[in-house]
Structure formats: C-alpha cells, structure tokens
Amino acid sequence: MIQVEHMNKTFKVARRSAGFLEAMKALFRRESETIHALSDISFFIGDGEMVGYIGPNGAGKSSTIKILSGILTPDNGTCIINGRIPWKERKEHVKDIGVVFGQRTQLWWDVPIIDSYELLKDIYEIPTQTYKENLEELTRLLSLEELLKTPARQLSLGQRMRCEIAASLLHSPKILFLDEPTIGLDAVSKLAVREFIRNQNKRHNTTVLITTHDMQDIEALADRVLLIGKGTLLLDGSLDDLMNHRPKEDATLDEIIATLYRDYDI
C-alpha cells in the first residue's frame, strides 16, 4: 500500500551556459535556479495494483521513485508505504521493495550471476529455504539456467535485464519499482519481461509501479496510469480514461500522450 499526500520536492541546479565569456564569468559567479521537481503530488496505490507512471523526461518520475524507495527525502508532504515512512525507516523499508533501474546494473560485472545472487542473499539476510525457492522459480520463469554461470559482462542486454529483474525479486519484495525496464531491449526480450511482470503480479500479488516511455509497456502492464508533467500530477485514471483524451478515433496511445502533453502545455 502506497499513500502519498501533498508531496513537494525542489532542487537547486547550477546553470551553465555556452561560450567562452560565459565560461569565464562562471569562474567567479555561478547562478543557480530552483526547479520544482514535484509539486503537491498525491496518490494512493493499493496492494497488488499495477500502475504505469508516465511523463516526459524531467517530469519528476525518477524523483518520485527515489522518494518512494527511501533514497530521497521530500521537502514536505507525507508518504507512507506499508505503514512506514521510507526515508525514516530506510533499512526496514527497502527489504520490502525491489527496484530495477533500466539503465544501471546491480550485478557484478566480472563474476558469474549466481555469485551476485549469493551476495544479495547475505545482504538481505534471505533465509536459505526462501532463497532456494525464489531462485528456482525465477530461474524457471525467466529461463536463467544457462545464464547463472556467466559473468554479467558477457550477457546481452536482454539477458542481463532478465537477471537484473530476478536480482530485485530474490528477497520477495511486496512492491516492485521498475524504472524503464524495457529500454533498449529487442522485441523478444520486451515480451518476455512484460509476460514475467504480469505473472509476478498475479502469483504473488506484487504491487508494481512502472515508469516507461514505451506505450506498449503501459498497454500490456498497467491497469491504471499516472501522468505527470512538470512535477504536477495531470491524470490519475484507468487506461480507458487516458483513451478518452484521444484526439481522433484511431489514435494510438503515443498520439494520445502527445496530445495530452500539448493540452497541458508540458
């Protein structure tokens, strides 16, 4: 259960401008500006929901994920996940969540995947029995048998993403955050990943929050969509609600989003 109420987050960012003179000026004085990454965000996600979190680059998606996973503290507002405030009870909280960053890896580059998993078992203090069961199930569902003995650096992107997702689920988290999990994957891998996530949700009632630019991900995975732009929550509804905004009858999801962006001026 994720409950977010009136959450705000601002950043100070140093401004850098091009040109020789500007660079010289910046030597002595650097201007900074305040960016409202999130302003007054509120939403509620129940157990076992699958929610797509969409919005253009820099809309505040990553900030939200970081706050929900306890990495960042918001300026104000409340956020309670499974009865805990993420950034206050970080260690307990992160045992409950799994996070996949599509563009980063948590696997050790040079050692076989299974070694990374064994280490995660110790880091999360997963009971041996649970670990065995989970590993066995994940290996079967994500067809990892042949990959487990291979170092991460020798895997293709798709193979690595499968291993990555398994790594985030070894400790049986109740909530799964996926930050662009299908980025850069080929069609077959994308389908496999989506299929798996759907399954995981059904089997274990795992709550899934997924950020993506891939509209097929949303169509395939999300029962509900949160649309964020310039730090503000613009739409919270079902896929159908999103469809109601379509500009013409046969518009694709991509076009709808583009229209929405235009309508809301983001």
Partner 1 sequence: MKKYGSFFRIRFINGLQYRMAALSGMTTQFMWGIMEILLFRAFYQASPDSFPMTFQALSSYIWLQQAFLALYLIWFWESQLFDSITNGDVAYELCRPIRLYNMWFVRGMAVRLSKATLRCFPVLFFAWLLPSPYGLTLPDNWNTWFFTLLAMTLAFLLVVAFGMIVYMSVFYTISSQGVKLLASSVSEFLGGSVIPLPFLPDKIRGVVNMLPFASAQNVPFRIFGGDLVGKEMYLSLLMQCFWLTVFLLIGRAMERRALKRVVIQGG
Partner 2 sequence: MNSIGLYKKYCLIHLKCVMQHKVSFFLTTFGLFLMSFNIFLGVYFMMVRFHQVNGFSYQEVLLCFSITLMSFTIAEAFFRSLDTFDSIIRSGEFDRILLRPRNCLFTVICSKIDFTRIGRLLQTILMFVYGILFSSIHWTLFRVIVIVLMVLSGIIVFVSIYLIFASICFFTLEGLEFMNIFTDGAREYGKYPIGIYGKTIVTICTYIVPFSLFQYYPFLYLTGKTENAWYGLLPIAGCLFLIPAILFWRFGLSRYQSSGS
Query: Where on the chain is the footprint of partner 1 (CB under 8 A)?
Result: 16, 20, 23-24, 26-27
Residue 5 has φ and ψ, to the nearest 5°, of -135, 125
Told to check if 235 binds partner 2 by CB under 8 A, we report no
Q: Which is nearer to partner 1, 23 or 123 (CB)?
A: 23
How far, in Å, CA of 197 to CA of 161, rounded? 12
How far, in Å, CA of 262 to CA of 170, rounded? 41
Binding segment toward partner 2, per CB under 8 A, in 24-32, 94-102, 184-192, 213-221: 94-102
Q: Which is nearer to partner 1, 16 or 262 (CB)?
A: 16
Q: CB neighbours (10 Å) of residue 248?
A: 8
CB of 24 to partner 1, least distance (A): 7
Told to check if 99 binds partner 2 by CB under 8 A, we report yes
x-or-dash string of contact with partner 2, 35-74, rule CB under 8 A: ----------------------------x--x--xxxxx-
Told to check if 125 binds partner 2 by CB under 8 A, we report yes
Tokens linked to 266: 């983001």
DSSP string, 171-232: T--SEEEEESTTTT--HHHHHHHHHHHHHHHHHH--EEEEE-S-HHHHHHH-SEEEEEETTE
Angle among Cα 215, 218, 222 to the nearest 5 degrees reads 170
x-or-dash string of contact with partner 2, 149-178, rule CB under 8 A: --x---------------------------
DSSP string, 103-127: TS--S-SSSBHHHHHHHHHHHTT--
Q: Which is nearer to partner 2, 114 or 191 (CB)?
A: 114
**Hunting for tokens 């509209």 — which residue is that?**
215
How far, in Å, CA of 238 to CA of 235, rounded? 9
Q: How many residues bind partner 2 (CB under 8 A)?
A: 33
Q: Which is nearer to partner 2, 75 or 133 (CB)?
A: 75
Tokens linked to 132: 């065995």
Q: Which is nearer to partner 2, 16 or 203 (CB)?
A: 16
Residues making contact with partner 2 (CB under 8 A):
11-12, 63, 66, 69-73, 75, 87, 90-92, 94-95, 97, 99, 101, 104, 106, 108-111, 115, 118-119, 122-125, 151
